[in-house]
Amino acid sequence: MFIPSKTAFNVYSKFTTLRKHPSIAPLFPPIIHSYYDQTEVKLNSLGRLISPQFKRKKVTARELQDKKAFKNPWNATWISKMLILDDWLLKGDLHHIVFRKLALHRTIQDRLMNPNSPITQLVILGSGIDHLGWVFSDKYVCFELDIEPMITFKKKLLPTLNQKVHLNDFDATKNALDQCLKQQPEFNPKRPSLFITEGFIDYIPKDNLVSLLSQIKHINPKNEWMSTHFDRSLLSRNQRFFFEFGIQITGEQLQSNLDKEQVISIGSNIGFALINEWSNILELLGNRSISNEAKLNKIERKVLQQNNMNGCSILHFK
């Protein structure tokens, strides 16, 4: 069974490779590494689920043989070379992948752990095969919504430990959000929720985005919204061509580009006020220093020293 969304797999494959680099790994808590360590062994490097029988053979081989003899396909040299090529075509993309994963994890964690925050539930729209719901479901009620083929795939991929995340199929262009959440008895509309749209709003029409945000506010006026935003108009002509062509060859379709002011205006008209935004890794690290620059390899330098792609940010609305 192959992953239904090639763009979701593209983000997964980039991040699970980047997170292993010595200077990048400490930026993320062990539970995130645990998620990817456990899901990697269920996937091959083309996005196909490995059968349980074959997986057991791999694990047995790893236990019986010297560790160097067991080759994880995700550690193949060609994957790192593909990352270098990717950043050459889309300068700043490697920084962007690590930035958005780091920003969402830290800001969601801060919001959920804030004693003055009313948020008790997390709802992730267009969740793909990301780790957010699984990571936070040990302490909070988490829901992941995506189209049915992706939900079916995710159920087979998720680690069994800590699997408390609630999965439900949802198509933002066809389904009503409140009706979808009503199918989940654990969802309490009276409790404020934080809704996440990571890499999601680029793939739904503007009218559907307006409808979706209106539904989020209608479910509970105290609900909050956090989203990635990518203004493609700020890319160079070559960058935009390679980005949009890359999406096109996957068979998926981008919708009309919305600049940040348009997104803020849409949110404002519905009752969402922008309270914070982030656009690069250094904003998240504060006074924390990065590892000895002299020891950084080529990929680490591109992640930690280059700027983010133009137009990429994380926006938090209340």
DSSP calls for 219-285: H-TT-EEEEEEE-GGGS-HHHHHHHHHHHHHTT--------HHHHHHHHHHHT--EEEEE-SHHHHH
Residue 261 is predicted with a pLDDT of 96
Per-residue pLDDT reduced to its tens digit, 140-166 = 999 999 999 999 999 999 887 656 899
90-317: CATH homologous superfamily?
Vaccinia Virus protein VP39 (3.40.50.150)
Tell me if 175 sits within 8 A of 204, measured CB to CB. no
Query: In the prediction, which pLDDT does 161 show?
Result: 66
Give residue limits of the domains in the chain.
Answer: 90-317
Q: What is the DSSP-derived secondary structure letter of residue 204?
A: S
Query: Around Cβ 304, how many Cβ atoms within 10 Å?
Result: 21
Instruction: Quote the radius of gyration of the chain (alpha carbons, Å).
Output: 19
Rounded Cα distance between 83 and 163, Å, is 31
User: Model-level pTM greater than 0.95?
Assistant: no
Q: What pLDDT score does 296 carry? A: 87
Per-residue pLDDT of the chain (318 residues; tens, 9 = 90+): 889 999 999 999 999 999 999 999 999 999 999 999 999 989 988 889 987 666 555 555 544 444 444 456 777 778 888 899 999 989 999 999 999 999 999 999 999 999 999 999 999 999 999 999 999 998 899 999 999 999 999 999 988 765 689 999 999 999 999 999 999 999 999 999 999 999 999 999 999 999 999 999 999 999 999 999 999 999 999 999 999 999 999 889 999 899 999 999 999 999 999 999 999 998 888 756 565 666 888 999 999 988 899 999 999 999
| Rounded distance between C-alpha atoms, residue 122 and residue 32, angstroms | 17
Are the beta carbons of 124 and 133 closer than 8 angstroms? yes
Contacts of 97 (CB under 8 A, 6+ apart): 11, 14, 15, 18
Pair 106, 116: CB distance under 8 Å: no
